[in-house]
Amino acid sequence: MDLYEYQARELFQQHGIPVPDAETVRTAREARAAAERLGGRAVIKAQVKTGGRGKAGGVKPAADPAAAELTARQILTMDIKGHRVHQVMVARPVAIEAECYVSYALDRAAGHFLAIASAEGGMDIEEVAATRPEAVARIPVDPGQGVTADKARDIAAAAGLPPATAPVLQRLWQVLTAEDALLVEVNPLVRTDDGDILALDGKITLDDNARFRQSRWGDDTDTHDDPLEAAAAGKGIGYLRLDGEVGIIGNGAGLVMSTLDVVAGCGARPANFLDIGGGASATVMADALSLVLADPKVRSVLVNVFGGITACDAVADGIVTALDTVRLTKPLVVRLDGNNAVRGRAILAERAHPLVQQATTMDGAARQAADLANDAAAV
């Protein structure tokens, strides 16, 4: 689970990492009052679980409480990379002398953590990492030893960070271990005009496997920002929304992944990943179809099932059930193969829905679904 910046800020504060004064609010009026409490000037920051808010116009200074209200009103209507803004942080403006980047991230392949740090942090860190990788230090951290005072000094020195950042590096490691995080990132970690070190932005990804011992998050099911992803999770369906137009439903992650590839190879973009799993029932199929059809970007739907434990006739029953409960407004291409495929195809043929067509191969099905999506786009 990713945390919002304001939640990361709270954890930083609890672990002794200096952060700017700030309040997080839901309305423009509250933003004005918060700016007043901060002494007038403020930085208004969209709270969304995605980076690059600054570049998207979601982080803006305000010169006085009236401007804070106006700016907050504007930011609260924003959508940043598909994330609606419901809250803004009103933070005390900081006079920045230098912006650094620091993070700890799990390197699964290597079996240890990596400290990643750069003296050139801020909004262009991705570009720095891409064009001048030598400006970004990557130092392994043995999870058993952690980040000691010495290690923190080594990391700061390797990245050319001000030596005063070392205690923050050490505390940031404590945040990672105490909170069961897989990633903690501060960008920027700044040195102010007065020489203070402050964490101005934070990103934390918690390890969902450790949720049971992190009671503070309770039943907070804010894991899914996307309402469709949340609805799918509630039904036990693995669903991930993507950017394209062809809705995809399959059984088994491997088959669904290759279906995405084949659709892309046919010149269309998948709208989602949806795995109904190994032993899917008719109900699951019906739920899956409703989910995909609820995405307004979807122009055609491809159901690609290779029947194993999930028999194709159950899948076909699910599709027929769905056709009775949800109004099909987009063309549906179905490819059934494997266990009980013949019976499954017959069930669909008998239902004879004008928007449903069948294909016998995966490539053929992907081609049809891609063409249908592209035709719909051309209209």
Ligand X SMILES: Nc1ncnc2c1ncn2[C@@H]1O[C@H](COP(=O)(O)OP(=O)(O)O)[C@@H](O)[C@H]1O
Q: Which residue ranges make up the site for ligand X (CB under 6 A)?
A: 20, 43, 45, 51-54, 59, 91, 93-94, 96, 99, 122-123, 187-188, 200-201
Query: Over the range 201-228, which residues count as b (16 or more CB within 10 Å of their CB) and which as e?
Result: bbbbbbeeeebeebeebeeeeeebbbeb
User: 48 is written with which tokens?
Assistant: 């969304």
Minimum distance of ligand X from residue 40's CB (angstroms):
14
Nearer to ligand X, 57 or 236 (CB): 57
Single out the catalytic residue among 4, 5, 69, 101.
101
DSSP assignments along 31-65, one per residue: HHHHHHHTTS-EEEEE--SSS-TTTTT-EEEESSH
Q: Which residues are CB-contacts of 148 (< 8 A; sequence separation ≥ 6)?
A: 170
Nearer to Mg ion, 104 or 273 (CB): 104
Sign, CA dihedral 321-261-343-371, equals positive
Which amino acids are annotated as binding site for Mg(2+), given as ranges?
A: 187, 201
Nearer to ligand X, 201 or 313 (CB): 201
Minimum distance of ligand X from residue 76's CB (angstroms):
16
Which amino acids are annotated as binding site, given as ranges?
A: 45, 52-54, 94, 99, 187, 201, 251, 308-310
Under a CB-based contact definition with an 8 Å cutoff, are residues 175 and 17 in contact? Answer: yes
* Binding site residues, Mg ion, CB under 5 A: 187, 201
The one of Mg ion, ligand X, none whose footprint includes residue 270, by CB under 5 to 8 A per kind, is none
Residue 4 known to be catalytic: no
Single out the catalytic residue among 23, 185, 229, 245.
185
Nearer to ligand X, 80 or 359 (CB): 80
**Sheet hosting strand 238-241, strand order edge to edge:** 238-241, 272-275, 246-250, 300-307, 332-338, 356-359
Does an H or E element contain 189, and which? Answer: strand 181-192
Which amino acids are annotated as binding site for ATP, given as ranges?
A: 45, 52-54, 94, 99
Minimum distance of Mg ion from residue 184's CB (angstroms):
13
Minimum distance of ligand X from residue 20's CB (angstroms):
5
Q: Which residue is nearest to Mg ion (CB)?
A: 201
By CB atoms closer than 10 A (0-12, 13-18, 19+), residue 95 is exposed
User: 192 is written with which tokens?
Assistant: 């102010």
The one of Mg ion, ligand X, none whose footprint includes residue 250, by CB under 5 to 8 A per kind, is none
Minimum distance of ligand X from residue 48's CB (angstroms):
8
Length of the chain: 379
The one of ligand X, Mg ion, none whose footprint includes residue 277, by CB under 5 to 8 A per kind, is none
Residue 185 known to be catalytic: yes
The one of Mg ion, ligand X, none whose footprint includes residue 53, by CB under 5 to 8 A per kind, is ligand X
Under a CB-based contact definition with an 8 Å cutoff, are residues 121 and 100 in contact? Answer: yes
Matching residue, tokens 């159901």 = 303
Helix (H, G, I), strand (E, B) or coil at 203: strand
Nearer to ligand X, 100 or 286 (CB): 100
The one of Mg ion, ligand X, none whose footprint includes residue 122, by CB under 5 to 8 A per kind, is ligand X
Give the residue numbers marked as catalytic.
101, 185
